[in-house]
Amino acid sequence: MTREKIVRMAREAGFTVGPSRDGPDDVWGVGANLERFAAIVAAAEREQIEDEWSMCVQSDLEHGVKSLNEQAAKDWFKNYPEIAKFGAWMAARGQA
């Protein structure tokens, strides 16, 4: 999580964020701000985890479907060689 995103979430929680004399920004707030900040951070983390999980599942599904399609094509050509030859013949005629 970037520093900018953390500062944005702190402001969203009600904290006051301002420049400091000796380095990073100062943050002012009360306990209720801290609870809201924790809830906002937890929600952001959940969303990031869900996004990463969703991308992984989608990728696995795409690879699985591709593998199944390749296997089905091999089986089809093996089980129906005459029809496969006809398809090749039709393709050759289309290129002539």
Q: What is the pLDDT of residue 96?
A: 55
Which pLDDT band holds residue 18 (cuts at 50, 70, 90)? confident
Q: How many Å apart are CA 9 and CA 28, to the nearest integer? A: 13
∠24-46-57 over CA atoms, to 5°?
A: 130
Which pLDDT band holds residue 23 (cuts at 50, 70, 90)? low
Q: What is the pLDDT of residue 95?
A: 72
> pTM of the predicted model, to two decimals?
0.54
Domain total of the chain: 1
Q: How many Å apart are CA 17 and CA 25, to the nearest integer? A: 6
Question: For residue range 38-89, what is the model confidence (pLDDT) as tens digits?
Answer: 999 999 999 999 999 989 888 888 888 888 888 888 888 888 888 878 878 8
Domain membership of residue 17 as a residue range: 3-95
